[in-house]
A and B are shown apart, each in its own frame.
Chain A
Amino acid sequence: MLDFFTYVFLIAGFLMLAGKVITNNITLLAIQSLALSIIAFYLGLSGGAVNWHMVLIGGLTFAVKVIVLPWILYRLVDKVAARRVVPLSIGLGSSSLIGVLLVGLTYSYVVPVLLKEVQVGGQLLPVALSTVLLGCFFMISRRSALSQLIGVIVMENGLFLCGIAVTGGMPLIIEFGIFFDLLVGALVMGIMTYQIRDTFDTLDTKFLNKLKH
């Protein structure tokens, strides 16, 4: 059960790399977030006593990342993205390949070698770290401002999973802080996307290259 959703989490992240239609990416993001909240719920409820902390995180994730953020993103796409297809800086084939490499790196090197002291069984930790890296790489390989926003959220997802996996959740107030942060950040980035669209008539970051040297 846990492994299944973990894999869903990873595969959603991976599929994002393989696709270039922005709406699909948002859907995948929502699916990934859903997987994350289910994992949180599962961890919170599956033990003997109910871990309210986890449940709360799951709920928040569900509310913010499955409903609010995708909704905002869809709205943004409707408003600003003239084309649904995202320009790439690294081709789909090679980016998938690099994605595999990254996952391989986490599975074969980072977790077993560098993190051998961390006593966390299962797939949670490698999947979480892979997702962080994949999210970052997603941002590198996409040249659209919106995709970069999505990438940030994917990275946050990875971080949350990592937090859950390694520590069973950070202290609550901090989790709240991070959530709030994320929400505000996403909002600000959304507003900026909007402004960029207004000013540059495009979201392609290729045109954001006037400042150099």
Chain B
Amino acid sequence: MLYLLLLAPLFTAVCCLFPLGSRWWERINVLGALLTGIAALYCSLNVFLVGNIDRTQAFLVIDQLSAVLVLIIGIVGTTCCLYTVSYLRSDLKNGELTERQVGRFFGLLHLFVATMYLAVLADNLGVMWVAIEFTTIVSALLVGFYGNKAALEAAWKYIIICTVGIAFAMLGIILTFYAARGVLGSDEISLSWRFLYPVAAKLDPSLMKLAFIFILVGYGTKAGLFPLHTWLPDAHSQAPSPVSALLSGVLLNCAIYAIIRFHLLTTMAVGYNFSGRLLIIFGLMSMAGALPFILVQKDIKRLLAYSSVEHVGIIILGIGLGGVLGYTGAILHLINHALGKSVLFLSAGTLAQTYHSKLIPRMQGIGQLLPITSKVFMASLLAIGGAPPFGLFISELNVATRGFQAGGPGLGFVFLMVIAVVFTGLIYFAGKMYFSDLPARFPRGEQFSVNHILLLLPLCLLISQGIYMPGAVQDLIAKVVSFMTAGGVY
């Protein structure tokens, strides 16, 4: 089944390479996306509901942690792929793309999804590294897809900075490999998570310390930790919106996933104080560093991108603080942010497409232009800002509580304050866009369509995360957290 999860998007990607015409590509895309989504859902729920942890496959493994990621990729990835159909149609109509490019776009999109699945399913540190590097390469092509100056610039910065970062991560992997081989004694299994965790306590601490630094710098670049985040606002703002949604909603999570894995390993080898403290520092830096950019911003997609930096900071901080509350908060936030931010990027993308501009001052009166999409946009913006009844509020509260407990009142207060100030920035721009009058040259109103359902579904999930989580979901989270507090050993 795990292989199916990888093969479905790959196969879809291959199909899209054939010159079939945009109708057929769309159909293939929808089919492939749904198939992949179902497979992802099956795989992850299999872990949670049946408790069936598949560790028989070579190189691939799915445990509680990766199941969460698979679930996120499944939901967000499928939504984005489906949303792409209408997005590309309107791009085609506006003459931004040629029909030939449509097929290539779908192909790359599915390839991108496949590499992300590989990254979270990989049992092998090296395979994971390769997969993550591949996500960079593929998504860089997607970022630069429009081929204009800005897109190329963004893509170039993205690929160069991430490649450099990832190179450092390789050093960390080599050091881990060396440390693990000293304990496990065999080449073949020394890079495998499932063999590494049980012996983690025996790994050499000073080596693991250094390894973690390299890993943090490496995957941290990919995750967008401040000050390694520099590629992120460029890439997110220039990519086609469904790609931005994927980048922000899932790709960052894949990198965070890698960091979590290594953090668990390092914690057991070195003790809590080292990697936890580093993560706390980087988490806070990301939150605080992104804040000024959110307060003073003109480009809506850059605004959202910086907000992603901030939220990555929150997740990393939650991981760094640890404990049941910290992990619960971080995992919930991982899920919630993915849901909220992808909806936000998709709706913002549609708005930007309609206005032919991404500049906030130009996007006046969104409520009159696209009543439904703009309401979704507002709701998800509030969600991202951390307002109830959306899930992010709860996850932030969990992290904050842990912050007050483990880091003292000062840390908790700074954390809450930064989030609140970010909220003010977001609500300021939201107010400017929503509570204003639409220039006369735009047509008004829109029809309810399948796209809106695609946007509303994650939003409903978010609300459920914020006020009523069914018992099953609570169990699911509890399982992941207990997996993490146990140090990743199953």
Contacts and interface: CB of A to CB of B under 8 A. Distances in A.
Interface string B86-123: 00000000000000000000000000000000000000
Contacts of A208: 153, 156-157
Interface stretch (A6-14, A30-38, A148-156): A148-156
Chain B interface mostly? helix
Interface in B186-221: 187-188, 191, 204, 206-207, 209-210
B126 to A, nearest CB: 3
Interface stretch (B24-32, B132-140, B451-459): B132-140
A145 interface: yes
A170 B175 CA distance: 11
Nearest to A139: B164
A45 B177 CA distance: 23
Given A136-B164, A166-B178, A185 B152 contact: no
A114 B159 contact: no
Interface stretch (B232-240, B312-320, B477-485): B232-240
A51 to B, nearest CB: 12
Given A139-B164, A167-B181, A211-B234, A192 B170 contact: no
Contact of B207 (A117, A178, A189): A117
Given A145-B156, A192-B156, A152 B163 contact: yes
Given A167-B178, A171-B188, A188-B140, A139 B160 contact: yes
A155 B187 CA distance: 24
Interface in A41-85: none
Interface string B163-179: 11001101100110110
Given A145-B156, A159-B174, A171 B126 contact: yes
A152 B168 CA distance: 11
A166 B175 contact: yes
B130 interface: yes
Contact of A184 (B137, B148, B170): B137
Interface residues of B, number: 51
A177 interface: yes
Nearest to A189: B159
Contact of B147 (A152, A195, A210): A195
Chain A interface mostly? helix
Nearest to A166: B178
A162 interface: yes
Contacts of B177: 166-167, 170
B61 to A, nearest CB: 16
Interface in A169-213: 170-171, 173-174, 177-178, 180-181, 184-185, 188-189, 192, 195-196, 199-200, 205, 208-211, 213
Interface of B: 124, 126-127, 129-130, 133-134, 136-137, 140-141, 144, 147-150, 152-157, 159-160, 163-164, 167-168, 170-171, 174-175, 177-178, 181, 187-188, 191, 204, 206-207, 209-210, 233-234, 237-238, 293, 296-297, 302
28 contacts: A117-B206, A117-B207, A129-B171, A132-B168, A132-B171, A139-B160, A145-B156, A152-B160, A152-B163, A155-B167, A159-B174, A162-B171, A167-B174, A171-B191, A174-B124, A174-B126, A174-B130, A178-B129, A184-B137, A192-B144, A192-B152, A195-B144, A199-B147, A200-B149, A200-B152, A205-B156, A208-B156, A211-B153
Given A208-B157, A213-B297, 4 more contacts: A116-B206, A163-B170, A174-B191, A178-B130
